[in-house]
């Protein structure tokens, strides 16, 4: 899914929505509170989507979100390469094993839950060995490291996963553990080592080494390596589009359903390929069959329009509902909106409020504002002005135009004047 949510909140209200019966600027707070409806697209895709809409006079019904058009292949600022000495300098000179590993009681619990089988004393010995080598800037011998663990190579990755999750100093330690596993032929260790090297994740950045290892793993059929390699090629070598597609296809067949999200996205917006909605829909269908919520969501988007065949609002609702039940806040918003307006399903304000609440609890600003409006009106939910204030405040805290309108709502709830004008939600 939108892999963090900061990139998916570019709000834009389409012409068809602005001229609908939900004309927000004509609806005041003292009348029925209007409900937010908007389309979300990424910065990368905005111009392409706008052009597509300009060429198509028929717009789909309101309340559709497309947050999955962003791509992990869009250019991000490169993190600065860190030298080994720079990393070591950040490790306190007196750092001890207990600063890296959790407390013994937590380690014992991990052993009981069989998340790791390596005895606690061996875990400490392994970490201590790496720490001493790093502090003295000496090479770490993978054979010695494995011998310290009593040749339990497979347990080193579990140890690496523990320290990288639980300690602020864990990245360099995990890096060396992954390296040792890679040296002993473990593909999981190789993949983790390559990923850290490629991204410079708390260790010296080495994109070339990372790509080389990922390429070797991809040839061996490692689906995660195929996925990451495809993403890297898309970013650095867009002329290798046929290889990108093949890698994503292989990753999808290998069980990485997000590969179908990427393929569908590429064909939907024409990113590196000729725009083809039928191919996009086919990939989303394949991902949906594997239970991918983003793919289900995009099928809802397609069925709500006539881009591929006739629009079918009932099918659109079903796909949005499936995605919503898998935790997608955008889908939860759309289901709530459709219950509110009776698009593809019988109108039911109570259900609308429930789905708005699901999305609101995940921090989705539009849903929070709509939920606040429903609490204010007592529409579909028992009127509760304190709850209305609570949710409007969360909208305000997120800022933007929606936040400004929510502030007007709060001012009106508190009996304050707002330049003598009544407020509506954009």
Lowest mean pLDDT among 15-29, 250-264, 268-282: 15-29
Tell me the sheet residues that pair with 39: 12
Q: pLDDT tens digit string along 305-361?
A: 999 989 999 999 999 999 999 999 999 999 999 999 999 999 999 999 999 999 999
Residue showing tokens 């006739």: 310
Q: What does the pLDDT read at residue 416?
A: 60
Q: pLDDT tens digit string along 184-200?
A: 999 999 999 999 999 99
How many Å apart are CA 237 and CA 217, to the nearest integer? Answer: 19
b/e 91-116 (16+ beta carbons within 10 angstroms → b): beeeeebeebbbeeeebeebeeeeeb
How many Å apart are CA 294 and CA 380, to the nearest integer? Answer: 28
81 is written with which tokens? 């390469």
Lowest mean pLDDT among 132-136, 329-333, 379-383: 132-136
What mean pLDDT do residues 33-53 have? 37
Q: pLDDT tens digit string along 153-168?
A: 889 999 999 999 999 8
225 is written with which tokens? 């390596």
Classify residue 333 by burial, with Cβ atoms within 10 Å: 0-12, 13-18, 19+. Answer: buried
Lowest mean pLDDT among 69-73, 91-95, 284-288: 69-73
How many Å apart are CA 353 and CA 332, to the nearest integer? Answer: 10
Residue showing tokens 């509170």: 33
Confidence of residue 92 (pLDDT cuts 50, 70, 90): low
Q: What does the pLDDT read at residue 202?
A: 86
Predicted confidence (pLDDT) at residue 383 exceeds the cutoff of 50: yes
Q: pLDDT tens digit string along 386-403?
A: 999 999 999 999 999 999
Q: Which residue has the higher pLDDT, 79 or 355?
A: 355
How many Å apart are CA 356 and CA 70, to the nearest integer? Answer: 24
How many Å apart are CA 116 and CA 208, to the nearest integer? Answer: 32
Q: What does the pLDDT read at residue 27?
A: 28
Confidence of residue 93 (pLDDT cuts 50, 70, 90): low
Q: What does the pLDDT read at residue 69?
A: 39
Classify residue 18 by burial, with Cβ atoms within 10 Å: 0-12, 13-18, 19+. Answer: middle
Predicted confidence (pLDDT) at residue 16 exceeds the cutoff of 50: no
Predicted confidence (pLDDT) at residue 49 exceeds the cutoff of 90: no
Assess contact for 283 and 263: CB atoms under 8 A. yes
How many Å apart are CA 421 and CA 412, to the nearest integer? Answer: 10
Q: What does the pLDDT read at residue 31?
A: 27
Q: What does the pLDDT read at residue 106?
A: 94
Q: How far is CA 312 from the centre of its chain?
A: 28
Confidence of residue 90 (pLDDT cuts 50, 70, 90): low
Q: What does the pLDDT read at residue 41?
A: 31
Predicted confidence (pLDDT) at residue 40 exceeds the cutoff of 80: no
For 164, residues 6+ apart whose C-beta sits below 8 A from its C-beta are 170, 171, 173, 174
Q: What does the pLDDT read at residue 63?
A: 41
Assess contact for 424 and 29: CB atoms under 8 A. yes
Q: 74: closest CA among 286, 255, 206, 269?
A: 269
Predicted confidence (pLDDT) at residue 1 exceeds the cutoff of 60: no
Q: Give the CB-side neighbour count of residue 24, counting CA atoms within 13 A.
A: 21
Confidence of residue 425 (pLDDT cuts 50, 70, 90): very low
How many Å apart are CA 378 and CA 388, to the nearest integer? Answer: 10
Q: What does the pLDDT read at residue 91?
A: 59
Confidence of residue 415 (pLDDT cuts 50, 70, 90): confident
The number of beta carbons lying within 10 Å of the beta carbon of residue 27 is 18
Residue showing tokens 């993949």: 191
CA angle 82/85/86 to nearest 5° reads 45
Confidence of residue 413 (pLDDT cuts 50, 70, 90): confident
Task: Give the per-residue SS3 of the chain.
Answer: CCCCCHHHCCEECCHHHHCCCCCHHHCCCCCCCCCCCCEECCHHHHHHHHHHHHCCCCCCCCCCCCHHHCCCCCCCCCCCCCCHHHHHHHCCCCCCHHHCCCCHHHHHHHHHCCCCCCCHHHHHHHHHHHHHHHHCCCCCCHHHHHHHCCCCHHHHHHHHHHHHHHCCCHHHHHHHHHHHHHHCCCHHHHHHHHHHHHHCCCCCCCHHHHHHHHHHHHHCCCHHHHHHHHHHHHHHCHHHHHHHHHHHHHHHHCCCCHHHHHHHHHHHHCCCCCCCHHHHHHHHHHHHHCCCHHHHHHHHHHHCCCCCCCCCHHHHHHHHHHHHHCCCHHHHHHHHHHHHHCCCCCCCHHHHHHHHHHHHHCCCHHHHHHHHHHHHHCCCCCCCHHHHHHHHHHHHHHCHHHHHHHHHHHHHHCCCCCCCCCCCCC
Predicted confidence (pLDDT) at residue 86 exceeds the cutoff of 70: no
Lowest mean pLDDT among 107-121, 220-234, 266-280, 401-415: 401-415
């Amino acid at each position: 899914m939108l892999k963090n949510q900061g990139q998916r909140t570019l709000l834009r209200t389409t012409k068809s929505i602005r001229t609908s019966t939900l004309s927000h600027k004509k609806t005041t707070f003292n009348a029925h509170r209007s409900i937010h409806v908007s389309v979300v697209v990424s910065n990368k895709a905005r111009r392409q989507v706008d052009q597509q809409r300009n060429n198509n006079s028929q717009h789909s019904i309101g309340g559709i979100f497309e947050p999955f058009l962003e791509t992990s292949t869009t250019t991000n600022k490169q993190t600065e390469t860190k030298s080994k000495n720079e990393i070591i300098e950040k490790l306190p000179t007196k750092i001890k094993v207990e600063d890296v590993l959790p407390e013994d009681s937590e380690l014992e619990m991990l052993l009981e839950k069989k998340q790791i089988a390596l005895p606690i004393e061996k875990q400490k010995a392994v970490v201590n060995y790496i720490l001493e080598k790093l502090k003295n800037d000496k090479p770490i011998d993978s054979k010695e490291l494995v011998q310290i663990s009593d040749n339990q190579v497979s347990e080193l990755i579990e140890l690496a996963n523990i320290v990288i999750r639980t300690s602020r100093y864990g990245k360099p330690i995990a890096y060396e553990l992954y390296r040792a596993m890679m040296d002993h032929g473990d593909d999981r260790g190789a993949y983790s080592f390559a990923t850290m090297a490629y991204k410079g994740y708390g260790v010296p950045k080495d994109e070339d080494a990372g790509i080389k290892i990922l390429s070797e793993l991809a040839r061996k059929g490692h689906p995660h390596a195929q996925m990451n390699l495809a993403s890297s090629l898309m970013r650095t070598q867009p002329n290798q589009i046929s290889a990108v597609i093949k890698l994503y296809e292989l990753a999808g067949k290998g069980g990485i359903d997000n590969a179908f999200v990427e393929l569908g996205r590429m064909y939907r917006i024409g990113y590196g390929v000729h725009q083809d909605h039928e191919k996009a829909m086919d990939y989303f269908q394949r991902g949906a069959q594997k239970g991918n919520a983003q793919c289900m969501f995009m099928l809802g988007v397609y069925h709500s329009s006539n881009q591929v065949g006739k629009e079918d609002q009932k099918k659109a609702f079903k796909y949005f509902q499936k995605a919503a039940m898998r935790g997608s806040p955008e889908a939860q918003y759309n289901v709530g909106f459709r219950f509110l307006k009776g698009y593809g399903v019988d109108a039911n304000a109570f259900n609308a409020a429930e789905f708005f609440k699901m999305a609101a609890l995940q921090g989705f600003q539009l849903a929070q504002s709509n939920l606040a409006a429903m609490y204010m009106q007592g529409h579909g939910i028992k009127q509760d002005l304190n709850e209305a204030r609570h949710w409007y405040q969360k909208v305000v805290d997120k800022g933007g135009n929606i936040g400004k309108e929510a502030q007007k709502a709060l001012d009106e709830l508190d009996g304050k004047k707002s330049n003598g004008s009544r407020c509506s939600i954009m």
